[in-house]
Amino acid sequence: MFKIGKLFHLTQVVEDLNDADLWYNRVFAPCRFYRALMPEAFRDASLLAISDLVVEPVQIAAGLPGVERSPLARFKARYGNRLHSIAWYVDSLEAAFEACRAQGVRMSDVTGRTVEDIEHVGAIKYFWTHPADTHGIIEFARLIPEYTIDPRAQPFWSSAYWRDQHPLGLTGQMTITTAVRDVAAAADTYRRLMSGVEVPTGWSDGRSAFQVGDDTIVELVPIDSPELGGFGDGVFGMAFHVADLAAAEAFLRDLGLPCRRAANGSIVLDPKDALGTTVGFEQAKERI
């Protein structure tokens, strides 16, 4: 069996990468350690380290031949601007592939080509699961500290600034909400494939929640939950854990970003003020 580690990144499809970068600068003061065009994936993207987490805003690279047939372009054509997938580092990409194959999960590489054998896995850095097989798109990635540009893998890295000096007081953990058609089946996948540890949700709408890897909790929410507002299925929102929720709320309001209170006590920005995505903040609890 393979082991899931840190959140590699949470991918967010945006209309304009420049606007997304500026929004994240204003709210989170991230450490931006990558911004580039990847022609084979038909996208421009930034990688933003925010405390011990990484968010990846992605813009479709219009004008490239064949872009409309790319996985990301097809996703955007169907769903618009929203969260796309959850990516985790794993200790063995080959073992992750074997576990997925054993459970009938279909996989593809960055170009959209089907990953069918271990030789293919040996030649790539990451693969994506089919959303119908894992109740949302999941990416698994190999981490080689000697070669990665991810600063979190380096001995000099510290997330203390976001915890101790940034007004949000980010603790380095995130809750990711995923809307699913069958909570029981999705929960079974997270137990068996992801080695998820079930945790309380604080909600009463039939959802389940699992600690996955080092820093993420995934909430599996039925698609008919009123909170989703007819969103459909897929990755719905992200909530950063903060040391002092009242202080975080005051900072966001000072930025001109009004918050609403959710039923579980967390605060949530209006999607129109957050690049079309549901972004929330919740009071940090003791890690399991």
Q: Where are the domains of the chain?
A: 4-151, 166-283
Burial class from Cβ neighbours inside 10 Å (0-12, 13-18, 19+) for residue 135 reads buried
Cβ atoms < 10 Å from Cβ of 269: 20
The C-alpha R_g of the chain, in whole angstroms, comes to 18
Instruction: Please give the full DSSP string across 244-264, using - where no structure is assigned.
Output: -HHHHHHHHHHTT--EEE-TT
Biggest CA–CA distance in the chain, Å, is 53
What region, left, alpha or beta, does residue 61 occupy, with left being phi > 0 and alpha being psi -120 to 50 degrees? beta
Cα separation, 39 vs 73, whole angstroms: 13
Cα 96 from chain centre: 18
**Do 280 and 239 touch, CB atoms closer than 8 A?**
yes
User: What pLDDT is attached to residue 287?
Assistant: 58
Q: What's the pLDDT score for residue 52?
A: 96
Find the angle CA(159)-CA(248)-CA(80) to the nearest 5 degrees. Answer: 85
Instruction: Going residue by residue through the chain, which has 288 residues, state the pLDDT in tens, using 9 for 90 and above.
Output: 899 999 999 999 999 999 999 999 999 999 999 999 999 889 999 999 999 999 999 999 988 888 888 889 999 999 999 999 999 999 999 999 999 999 999 999 988 899 999 999 999 999 999 999 999 999 999 998 888 999 999 999 999 999 999 999 999 999 999 999 999 999 999 999 999 999 988 787 889 999 999 999 999 999 999 889 899 999 999 999 999 999 999 999 999 999 999 988 999 999 999 999 999 999 998 655
pLDDT of residue 144: 87
Q: Does domain 4-151 have CATH number 3.40.50.300?
A: no
Residues 263/201, Cβ–Cβ less than 8 Å: no
In whole angstroms, how far apart are CA 12 and each of 19, 36, 48, 84, 142?
A: 13, 15, 11, 6, 20
Closest-CA residue to 178 (of 234, 229, 128): 234
- The answer to whether the CB of 128 falls within 8 A of the CB of 138 is yes
Q: How far is CA 260 from the centre of its chain?
A: 22
Which of 119, 121, 112 is closest to 140 using CA atoms? 121
Question: How close are the terminal C-alpha atoms of the chain, in Å?
Answer: 21
Say what the pTM is: 0.95
Strands 234-242 and 278-283: parallel
Phi first, then psi, for residue 9 (nearest 5°) are -170, 160
Mapped onto helix, strand or coil, the DSSP state of residue 19 is helix
- On the question of a common fold for 4-151 and 166-283, the answer reads yes
Q: What is the fold, at CATH topology level, of the domain defined by 166-283?
A: 2,3-Dihydroxybiphenyl 1,2-Dioxygenase; domain 1 (3.10.180)
State how far the Cα of 106 lies from the Cα of 14, in Å rounded to an integer: 26
